[in-house]
A and B are shown apart, each in its own frame.
Chain A
Amino acid sequence: MAKAKKPLEAVAGDPALAALREQLTAAAAAFVGDSAHLGELLRAMVDDVQRAAAEPVEIFPVKHHSPASALHMVRRLRERPPRVIFMEGCEDLGAALTGLEHCRFPVALQAYAPEAPAFPVEWTPLNLVAPLTEFSAEYQAIAFSLQSEGTELVFVDRSVDHVFQWMPREGPPPGVDDEESDEAGDDDEEEGEADEEGRGGGNTANLHGGAVGLQIGAMQPTFGDFLDVLLRNARVRHYSEWWTQYVEGPTLAADYATYRHVFFLIGALLRRIGITEKDRAEDSARERYMWAKIRAHLRARKIDPKDAIYVCGAIHAVSPIPEFGTQGDAEWTIPGRTDTKWFYGLVPSSYAAIEHQFGLPSGEIAIAQSMWEKGLKALDLRPFKIGKADAEGKAKAGVKVRSKPAAAAASGPAPASPPPSVADSAIALRDFLTRPPTFVEADDEQLMRWCLDVVRLARKNGYMASTADTIAIHHTAGLLAKLRDRPHPSPYDFQDAAITCLEKDRTPRRRTIQRICQILLGGDRLGRVGYESLPPLAQDVYDRLAILGVNLKSTRIERALLDIQSRPELLPASDLLWRLRYLGVPVRPIMGERSLGHKPKQESWDIDIGKHQHGLIQLGYEGMTIEQVLERKLKKAAFESTARAASALKAAEDSILYLRSGRLTRELGLRATELLRAELGAADAPEIFQRVRALVHYYRTIGLPGWIKDFVSTGYQHYATLLPYAFSDRGTAPRQLAAMLAFIFTQEALAFSMGCERSQLLIALDQAEPEDPAKIALHWAAEWIVGLRTEDQIREEFLHLMENPLLLPAFPEYMAGFLLALEFTPRITRIAVELLTRAFGRLPDEVLVPWMPTLVVTLRPLGGQLMQTLVKEAGLAFPRGLGELAGWEFAWERQLPAVSEPAKGAQESAHQGAVGPAQELSPEEASLADLLRHHPMSLDALATRLGIDAGWAAVSSSVAASSAPGGAPSTPTQSAEKTPLAALLAEFPASLEALAMRVLGD
């Protein structure tokens, strides 16, 4: 019954092909009224099988990560070692095979091109991975060829370069997930879960990053409707499940001929109706390539086609192209490669990464692995293992002899797999057709164990699960398997049963039952590339980090503590860690920093290299040591055509931090100077200013090198020249302008020492004609610094703005510009506080309220230091306690009347002349005057200094009266109003007062 349900997967055997064809045509007629079409298809498929089977080069059809393929490969190779194994797979990837013996699988063969001018810029770096698991046919073939001298392994598929050449130039860059088909829907969910999943310190799904993935023997139907029909009729959820149930299981125990035919047939089915036109075209191109390679190789080495095996995906085994086969006369010339330089190596991979990369349902690889192990045990096979070459090599002579009985014995226990011989294959085929699909040993015990374990794990994760559930799961799994036509519950049935019985309306903790099942069925496994197989750079890193004493091979995050103060020999390791971090290798400083002038004392690091080896390995393609890679990277940043002065300066700063190479720093610094000179705008001025300030600061302690002096003087001149333009240019933001001014003013001293002159600046400021309010305010501030404007003038300007209702709305903008000036002159803090206070007091709400957020935004980038001075100044301006508030007034308000009113009074009195100041003298003033008269020298000196003919006025009667009792002699007299000194003093009472205070204080 099961067989009848899937006529399309039925199998052909060599002698029985004709009979099969008739049978299939009859079946087509029976099923569909109009059988011509279907019959045609079936006939064509059988023809395909025949053609593939007749090919003298033994075609070995495989599917990626298929245990059945791997088991048959083991058997086939043990039986009769071929002279050459041709394998689907980029021909140049063969270079990556060396070093596999030191790896823990899964790993991926990688081709990497850091630079590829022939391809679109957004594609670079080009990265391609071909994951390899131990239970795949390709692994077995590789392992075999590595340990037996007589067998040669040749990759024949298009080169990595062609892979990228044949990709459509339009559309998203390769490796970016562009598939959002309906099927991808539940994959995404699983992904989401996986992201939350923290098993073993994080998930590894994204291990391959943006690499393009290649599979040997990819056999995924890409034509959506076909897939739908297939899944619906087979009653499975996804293709992998279908494959496992209908192909993998039955062929696992079948004989070799049957296995091949089944695979050919399915390949033919997919090839003809299962894939899209586009994929078909690409497949054809690849097959042409492969056959051209195979023929060329056979000719060159003079190898009999019968001594060769061609391992390829079943889809390619049944290719309809004319170039197919060694006998075909159609020839195809291989197109050239681009001159991209490729690097080859190994990177670690993981099951999750493979599943993610190829869109497989999660858990599939783990299930495949368990099937492989089960199969090995049931068939009593010994797999080939890379790296176990010694043991195998010794036993090899024996293996050859023993292999045949072993194979025979292997097929013995399996119920329906007679020894592979051509004569029997017809019987085998009939047998295969008529019996229901068998699995390798229905393993009840295993299911029971799963049931127990899932309940245990579920309880651990907060589910209320008990022994009753174990029984229920076991029962339900059995019922589901029966419902789905399976003799024994598959892992998928088990998973469904567990979800049905355990999952209630909510998940107690992070893990759902589905996730728990996946973990139970094998979970993820992470590969590792051994030390010996690493590129020199990575080995070097391992060597140099050995001093830290952490386990770099661990897949967990390792914490390293570096007490550099007590163990200075750790400093190089610290340097290296910082370099690695800069280059994006996953090491994270937990404590410690690296900044200009900082001397490390203690550091602690999280080192995650064991799990993310690929980052290190990819760096290994770019150079021999980490320093070399870093230097190249810095140089690239500074010297590429789009580099700007700021980026070059950053590179220079990084070179100081990470490389301590004066030569390189100088080179980068000079480049920065050169770039600055050529720069037209001031867009980067803020960044340049910050960096230069830090660099100059840093170098002051150890001596300024030539390049920084050069940079500063160039910058001074450059920015001074740019000033007038920047002031009027609308495209230059006030912030950038402020940064330019800051550069000029803060580095002025250094620039002067290099021969710059201030006059250049003065002229530039004079030339500037700003129109923007913010820039006008900046201009005022700059002029104030160089002495072209006074504080009072600035205040006047702002007061004017506030008084004029038409100008009032622009006040915030002026203020914003003015505040920017804080960056280069802290002198304006006082007036800034004053103006802000006034503004808050006076501005109407409709101007003030919208301004507030902008004000915050303006002030924020000024940073902590400037804000501190501003706050301090404001603290001085305002009262400190509540008690002071009553009699308190602003400093400037106190001052202003004091300036203006007495002056006015004095002027009036001076003009009127009638009233002398003496008349208004209060007792204190009288005593003051008295005092002054007693000690005339100071005033005299002052007067002389001021160039005034000093004379003392006579004490007016009242004063004299009051002071007379003191017995003061009246000094020479002159009328007060006539004395220039008096007028002067009247005009500046402050000085006199101060003087008096001082005297009195004494």
Chain B
Amino acid sequence: MAKSKASTGKKSEETTPSASTPASGASETKLRLPAEEKYAEELAYLASVDQDARPFAWRLSPRMIRTFILGASPQDKLDRPIPQKFFGDPSLVERAIVTLASDRGLLLIGDPGTGKSWLAELLAAAICGNSTHVVQGTAGTTEDHIKYSWNVAMVIASGQSRESMIPSPIMTAMTRGEIGRFEELTRCSSDVQDALISILSEKYVTIPELSGDESVVYARPGFSMIATANSRDRGVNELSTALKRRFNFVTIPIVTNKRAEKEIVMFRTRELMARNRIEVDVPPTMLDILIQTFADLREAMANAQSEEGRLESSLSTAEQIGVIEDAMLHSTFFGSKTLEPGTLARSMVGTLVRRVPEDVSILNKFWHAQGAAGEGGAKKRKKGAAKEETTDATAPAVSPEVAAFIAGGKQALASIK
């Protein structure tokens, strides 16, 4: 029980696949570094070798940004390796970069956990070296959060002036010519969203309270907006047509390709583990089991007749990362230092159970179907593993790992009351 709680908590923290890490000095004081600090060296290097034209005041040329996000290939002839940071269709990233170079804003749409925010952060970091001008959209977001507000004490003391004004992150980005980010745009109400229209088209904000030169804040070249929207929120707060027109929409699909998914999970897990200084590698069999189980779950959820039969979780890649991180941490601190199938199963149950009676019963059914499939199910799983080229030839029809995994899952379910 306690276990499941813990992992659920962790999950929510990790839903945004954002980075943190390397064992540099800064990480001692900051739990999670923004992308521009984390990849500062890489960015500096890329800027030094970049010879292409840069739009506005960008730090890098579009081609280098592409290299930064999608990784370098040998043909780029770079002196140091640049790892891939966002896994997805390259043309999608290209379209995002190009949009920012034009005079429209970029709106990334996708299911939760598909890496929208991560892509936004990478783009902002690469373009202007600052990804922290973020406004988080919520139901309580007001226009003040988007434009500016006043420091009341200073207003009383010395009247309204630029000094007593508190600019929003977006206004800061405007004045500096950097990228402003708006997370979960569709969570805030439509009239608040529409405050963005003038920012995106006129590229300035007027401050009626002030007069003269001070009354208009102009955006410097290089300013643009990256907003993210959750496709599950569709219809909650519809974007107005005028705002839609000022954004280019780029839809980020959920990763269904197993190979790509595996790469992402490996990449992220290694980063997260490095943060805790854990040098455990995920055994490939465990990874296969995890990915196959998620694939099975997705299939089952897609075939479920009603909303009742579906898990609340979106079963995204980010959740997989959450599961495996949780399992690794657990086995490192409380277990035998190696990742056990039972631990993995327990983490998975803990992560996926959000609503106590409903999710438990769905998982219960799924888990027992897996177990009952017995030989057959295991064979299928084995086949999946073989496709992933990680099959170990010595394993019998039902590998002991799979059996242990299933048993662990059942045990974890039994302990949830």
Binding site for B on A (CB under 8 A): 4-6, 31, 182, 185, 232-233, 235, 237, 464, 466, 468, 472, 475-476, 479-480, 482-484, 496-497, 499-501, 503-505
Are B104 and A5 in contact, CB atoms less than 8 angstroms apart?
no
Q: Is B101 at the interface (CB under 8 A from chain A)? A: yes
List residues of B (156-185) whose CB comes within 8 Å of A's CBs: none
Of B242-250, B273-281, B282-290, the stretch lying at the interface with chain A is B242-250
Are A232 and B94 in contact, CB atoms less than 8 angstroms apart?
no
Interface centre among B98, B101, B234 (most CB of A within 10 A): B98
Are B101 and A479 in contact, CB atoms less than 8 angstroms apart?
yes
Are B66 and A476 in contact, CB atoms less than 8 angstroms apart?
no
Chain B residues contacting A505 (CB-CB under 8 Å) are 109, 229, 231, 234, 239, 244, 249, 251
Are B244 and A472 in contact, CB atoms less than 8 angstroms apart?
no
- A-B pairs with the 7 shortest C-beta distances? A479-B98, A500-B95, A483-B62, A5-B75, A500-B248, A504-B249, A480-B98
Q: Contacts A233-B73, A501-B248, A505-B234: A472 and B94 contacting too (C-beta < 8 A)?
A: no
Q: Is B211 at the interface (CB under 8 A from chain A)? A: no
Are A482 and B62 in contact, CB atoms less than 8 angstroms apart?
yes
Q: Which of A5, A480, A482 contacts B95 (CB 8 A)?
A: A480
> A-facing mask of B182-205, CB < 8 A → 1, else 0?
000000000000000000000000
Are B257 and A182 in contact, CB atoms less than 8 angstroms apart?
yes
Instruction: Please classify the interface of chain A as helix (H, G, I), strand (E, B), loop, or mixed, using the class held by over half of its residues.
Output: helix
A6-B75, A464-B245, A476-B102 provided; 11 other pairs, C-beta below 8 A? A233-B74, A237-B90, A464-B241, A475-B102, A476-B248, A479-B101, A500-B98, A500-B249, A505-B239, A505-B244, A505-B249
Are B244 and A464 in contact, CB atoms less than 8 angstroms apart?
yes
Q: What are 14 A-B pairs at a CB distance below 8 A? A: A182-B259, A235-B90, A464-B245, A468-B245, A472-B104, A476-B98, A476-B99, A479-B102, A482-B62, A483-B98, A499-B95, A500-B95, A504-B249, A505-B231
Q: Contacts A464-B241, A504-B244: A483 and B94 contacting too (C-beta < 8 A)?
A: yes
Chain B residues contacting A466 (CB-CB under 8 Å) are 245
Instruction: Please classify the interface of chain B as helix (H, G, I), strand (E, B), loop, or mixed, using the class held by over half of its residues.
Output: helix
Chain B residues contacting A503 (CB-CB under 8 Å) are 249, 251
Chain B residues contacting A504 (CB-CB under 8 Å) are 244, 249
Q: Is B91 at the interface (CB under 8 A from chain A)? A: yes
> A-facing mask of B71-101, CB < 8 A → 1, else 0?
0011101000000000000110011011101
Bound complex: CA of A185 vs CA of B257, how far in Å?
A: 10
Are A483 and B63 in contact, CB atoms less than 8 angstroms apart?
yes
For residue B56, give the distance in angstroms from its CB to the closest CB of chain A: 12
Bound complex: CA of A186 vs CA of B285, how far in Å?
A: 29
Interface size class of chain B, counting residues whose CB lies under 8 Å from the partner chain: 20 to 34
For residue A710, give the distance in angstroms from its CB to the closest CB of chain B: 56
Q: Contacts A235-B90, A482-B62: A496 and B95 contacting too (C-beta < 8 A)?
A: yes
Bound complex: CA of A482 vs CA of B62, how far in Å?
A: 9
Chain A residues contacting B73 (CB-CB under 8 Å) are 232-233
Bound complex: CA of A235 vs CA of B70, how far in Å?
A: 11
> A-facing mask of B217-254, CB < 8 A → 1, else 0?
00000000000010100100001010011001111000
Q: Which of B94, B239, B259 contacts A480 (CB 8 A)?
A: B94
Are B63 and A237 in contact, CB atoms less than 8 angstroms apart?
no
Bound complex: CA of A235 vs CA of B93, how far in Å?
A: 12
Chain B residues contacting A480 (CB-CB under 8 Å) are 94-95, 98
Are B63 and A496 in contact, CB atoms less than 8 angstroms apart?
no
Bound complex: CA of A6 vs CA of B241, how far in Å?
A: 45
Chain B residues contacting A5 (CB-CB under 8 Å) are 75
Nearest-CB residue, chain B, relative to A234 = B75
For residue B270, give the distance in angstroms from its CB to the closest CB of chain A: 22
For residue B150, give the distance in angstroms from its CB to the closest CB of chain A: 35
Chain B residues contacting A484 (CB-CB under 8 Å) are 94
Bound complex: CA of A4 vs CA of B77, how far in Å?
A: 10
Chain B residues contacting A479 (CB-CB under 8 Å) are 62, 98, 101-102
For residue B369, give the distance in angstroms from its CB to the closest CB of chain A: 24
For residue A484, give the distance in angstroms from its CB to the closest CB of chain B: 7
Q: Which of A185, A233, A468, A496 contacts B91 (CB 8 A)?
A: A496
Bound complex: CA of A475 vs CA of B91, how far in Å?
A: 17
Chain B residues contacting A500 (CB-CB under 8 Å) are 95, 98-99, 248-250
Bound complex: CA of A484 vs CA of B94, how far in Å?
A: 9
For residue B252, give the distance in angstroms from its CB to the closest CB of chain A: 12
Are A483 and B97 in contact, CB atoms less than 8 angstroms apart?
yes
Nearest-CB residue, chain B, relative to A475 = B102
Bound complex: CA of A475 vs CA of B55, how far in Å?
A: 13
Bound complex: CA of A691 vs CA of B252, how far in Å?
A: 60
Chain A residues contacting B99 (CB-CB under 8 Å) are 476, 500
For residue B67, give the distance in angstroms from its CB to the closest CB of chain A: 11
> A-facing mask of B97-116, CB < 8 A → 1, else 0?
11101101000010000000
Chain A residues contacting B234 (CB-CB under 8 Å) are 505
Nearest-CB residue, chain B, relative to A231 = B90
Chain B residues contacting A232 (CB-CB under 8 Å) are 73, 90
Are B74 and A31 in contact, CB atoms less than 8 angstroms apart?
yes
Interface centre among A6, A237, A464, A505 (most CB of B within 10 A): A505
Nearest-CB residue, chain A, relative to B106 = A500
For residue B74, give the distance in angstroms from its CB to the closest CB of chain A: 6
Bound complex: CA of A185 vs CA of B74, how far in Å?
A: 28
Bound complex: CA of A505 vs CA of B94, how far in Å?
A: 19
Interface centre among A185, A233, A501 (most CB of B within 10 A): A501
Nearest-CB residue, chain A, relative to B52 = A482
Bound complex: CA of A497 vs CA of B66, how far in Å?
A: 17
Bound complex: CA of A476 vs CA of B104, how far in Å?
A: 10
Nearest-CB residue, chain A, relative to B93 = A483
Nearest-CB residue, chain A, relative to B238 = A505
Chain B residues contacting A235 (CB-CB under 8 Å) are 90
For residue A32, give the distance in angstroms from its CB to the closest CB of chain B: 8
Bound complex: CA of A232 vs CA of B248, how far in Å?
A: 25
For residue B245, give the distance in angstroms from its CB to the closest CB of chain A: 7
Chain B residues contacting A475 (CB-CB under 8 Å) are 102
Interface centre among A185, A233, A483, A484 (most CB of B within 10 A): A483
Chain A residues contacting B101 (CB-CB under 8 Å) are 479
Chain A residues contacting B231 (CB-CB under 8 Å) are 505
Chain A residues contacting B259 (CB-CB under 8 Å) are 182
Bound complex: CA of A505 vs CA of B230, how far in Å?
A: 11
Chain B residues contacting A4 (CB-CB under 8 Å) are 75, 77
Bound complex: CA of A499 vs CA of B98, how far in Å?
A: 12
Q: Which of B74, B94, B109, B257 contacts A496 (CB 8 A)?
A: B94
Chain A residues contacting B62 (CB-CB under 8 Å) are 479, 482-483
Interface centre among A185, A464, A466, A482 (most CB of B within 10 A): A482
Bound complex: CA of A253 vs CA of B239, how far in Å?
A: 49
Are A472 and B90 in contact, CB atoms less than 8 angstroms apart?
no
For residue B103, give the distance in angstroms from its CB to the closest CB of chain A: 8
Bound complex: CA of A503 vs CA of B241, how far in Å?
A: 13
For residue B116, give the distance in angstroms from its CB to the closest CB of chain A: 13
For residue A12, give the distance in angstroms from its CB to the closest CB of chain B: 21
Nearest-CB residue, chain B, relative to A186 = B89
Bound complex: CA of A221 vs CA of B140, how far in Å?
A: 55
Interface centre among B63, B234, B248, B259 (most CB of A within 10 A): B248
Are A233 and B257 in contact, CB atoms less than 8 angstroms apart?
no
For residue B249, give the distance in angstroms from its CB to the closest CB of chain A: 5
Chain B residues contacting A6 (CB-CB under 8 Å) are 75
Bound complex: CA of A505 vs CA of B236, how far in Å?
A: 13
Nearest-CB residue, chain A, relative to B247 = A504
Nearest-CB residue, chain A, relative to B234 = A505
Nearest-CB residue, chain A, relative to B101 = A479
Chain A residues contacting B102 (CB-CB under 8 Å) are 472, 475-476, 479
For residue A468, give the distance in angstroms from its CB to the closest CB of chain B: 7
For residue B107, give the distance in angstroms from its CB to the closest CB of chain A: 8
For residue B342, give the distance in angstroms from its CB to the closest CB of chain A: 32
Bound complex: CA of A235 vs CA of B250, how far in Å?
A: 19
Q: Contacts A464-B244, A468-B245: A501 and B104 contacting too (C-beta < 8 A)?
A: yes
For residue A632, give the distance in angstroms from its CB to the closest CB of chain B: 47
Bound complex: CA of A484 vs CA of B93, how far in Å?
A: 12
Bound complex: CA of A475 vs CA of B229, how far in Å?
A: 25
Interface centre among B74, B95, B241 (most CB of A within 10 A): B95
